[in-house]
Structure 1
Amino acid sequence: MKSEGAREMALRYRTIAADLAGRIQHGQWEIGAFLPSEPDLAAEYGCSRETVRAALKRLEDLGLISRRKGQGTKVIRTVPAEQFHSRLGSIEELTQYGQSASRSIQAVERVRAHGAVAALFGKDEGTELVRLTTLRRNPEAESSPVARSEVFLSPEDFQLVEGELEDSQRLVADLVAERSGRRLVRVLQSIQAVPLDEETAPALNRAAGDIGLRLSRRYIDEEGKVFALVISTHPGDAFVYESVLERGTLPAEAGA
């Protein structure tokens, strides 16, 4: 069999990994059971052993299987170990997010606002900003990143919180609001499915082209001004975002 092209292989191994994960979750192989050998799986799926190996590596990254040379591939979980749930229904719940996902700062740099960043922040093109690149992990599975984020602040606001960022797990915007005397009154959020780029994918233990979930949040003060912009990207297959919608009372009903 000819070696599969890189793009075809990437699509194929993800499909096979998803199918195997589904079969595990539905009980075809119980915890402690061994999956078929690589040659057998390659024959079953009509693909190369290289593609099967990549699919099994994906299941291993999800914590579903363990692999040891000469011992085979054993099922150790039936659901992904690092699946992370975020249920946010208010600003108060959002500010508690830092308690459920530990943050590490990967880089701090001064940049110029352009394009989408300038538009979302409400800044002129070329305005100087500070960009923090951070990585959040699930405390229950430290090897599994749940988000790579870019946090944009004004240089003045960054100076107010610079000394606290390494030791604090609070949301950066929450710290900025407190230290600057602002009141955080609104968060505008958009959610978009995106392919992971070559910079973000490795940070999330994924392959470039895998689907991610991008959340853009604009933090707004009592004057209606955006003072922080956070763009977070999550692995699409391991992050669950839940929101709460409640039935309100219409004005006509209120007077009834």
Structure 2
Amino acid sequence: MTVVARYEEVARSLSQRIEDGSYPVGSKLPTEVNLADSYAVSRATVRSALDSLERLGMVSRRRKIGTLVESAQPTSGYMRTVTNMNDLVQYSVETRRLVLSRDEVVADQALADRIGGHAGDAWTLIRMLRLGELGEELPVCHTDVYLDPEVAAIVGDRLERPDGLINEIVERCTGRLTDRVEQRIRACALPKGLAAQLKAEAGSPCLEITRRYVESSGAVAQVTVSIHPGDRFDFNVPMQRQR
């Protein structure tokens, strides 16, 4: 049984009414107060629903004007802005995992160069998609999760559940705490083998984000490699001049 958050139900209902012309492009949606009354939910739930529609490019919200309908169809897929570890936690709340496969692999030199460690290291590889809040939107990314086999054995099938941050699940199950995250971001072309899964054109621009979760001892229990189509993810790094 799939449990759908109330704000997702509201967002889905509003998107359907936009698509069928009940709220045509260029019109204004009812106020948050009116929507909350109509759906018998809180204003916070309405705001979350409108956030979802705004990320899909279907509406825009303007101060002192209200919420305007911009498109009858999603135009941007799912886009998430991440600036820190707290945003990663929120990112895991707002997206869902769909596990595709689970295998035992031994790193060759190419894989070791890509994720760190050494050729000959054993890993449990879990391949998955990250899906957005609404069932019909485009996948957010494809992720390869490399786990220490001992950690994978303890975690079991918990990663097959759709929600939660992988690192938090690992920490909770094993007691092995992450001290820091080493992250590498590079631009690349979307591999042909992932194009169909991500519903994007092979060779189109994408971001590859590799994260190594390092413990205080220097041990690494998990590494993730995520491929994001270029129009579905933002990563912002504030930089301030040192004085």
TM-score tier (shorter): 0.5 to 0.7
Residues 82, 235 of structure 2: 8 Å contact kept: yes
Residue identity (%): 28
Residues 174, 184 of structure 1: 8 Å contact kept: no
- For these two proteins, the number of residue pairs brought into alignment is 180
Aligned to 1:82: 77
TM-score normalised by L of structure 1: 0.62
Confirm whether residue 239 of structure 1 aligns to residue 218 of structure 2: no
Superposed CA offset, 1:185-223 (max 9, x none): 211111111111111111110121111111111111121
1:109 is matched with which residue: 81, 97, 103? 103
Residues 98, 162 of structure 2: 8 Å contact kept: no
Gaps of 5+ in 2: 1-23, 27-55, 59-69
The code of the aligned residue for 1:85 comes to R
**C-alpha displacement at 1:101, in angstroms?**
1.1
Residues 93, 164 of structure 2: 8 Å contact kept: yes
Residues 82, 141 of structure 1: 8 Å contact kept: no
Task: Report the CA distance shift for 1:220/1:142 in structure 2 as closer, same or farther (over 3 A).
Answer: farther
The DSSP-based 3-state class of the residue aligned with 1:165 is: helix
Q: CA–CA distance in 1 between the matches of 2:122 and 2:241?
A: 42
Residues 127, 145 of structure 2: 8 Å contact kept: yes
The code of the aligned residue for 1:158 comes to A
RMSD: 2.7
Aligned to 1:253: none
1:210 is matched with which residue: 204, 213, 233? 204
**C-alpha displacement at 1:77, in angstroms?**
4.2
2:91 is matched with which residue: 90, 93, 97? 97
Residues 107, 133 of structure 1: 8 Å contact kept: yes
Aligned to 1:156: 150
Gaps of 5+ in 1: 1-29, 33-61, 65-74, 251-256
Q: CA–CA distance in 2 between the matches of 1:227 and 1:142?
A: 34
Superposed CA offset, 1:84-117 (max 9, x none): 123232x233233210111110110111112343
The DSSP-based 3-state class of the residue aligned with 1:206 is: coil
The code of the aligned residue for 1:103 comes to R
**C-alpha displacement at 1:81, in angstroms?**
4.2
Residues 193, 212 of structure 1: 8 Å contact kept: yes
Q: CA–CA distance in 1 between the matches of 2:25 and 2:87?
A: 35
Q: CA–CA distance in 2 between the matches of 1:83 and 1:239?
A: 5
1:143 is matched with which residue: 137, 141, 159? 137
Aligned to 2:193: 199
Q: CA–CA distance in 2 between the matches of 1:88 and 1:235?
A: 18
Residues 120, 229 of structure 1: 8 Å contact kept: no
Q: CA–CA distance in 2 between the matches of 1:198 and 1:239?
A: 18
**C-alpha displacement at 1:229, in angstroms?**
0.7
1:169 is matched with which residue: 131, 139, 163? 163
Structure with the greater alpha carbon radius of gyration: 1
The DSSP-based 3-state class of the residue aligned with 1:224 is: coil
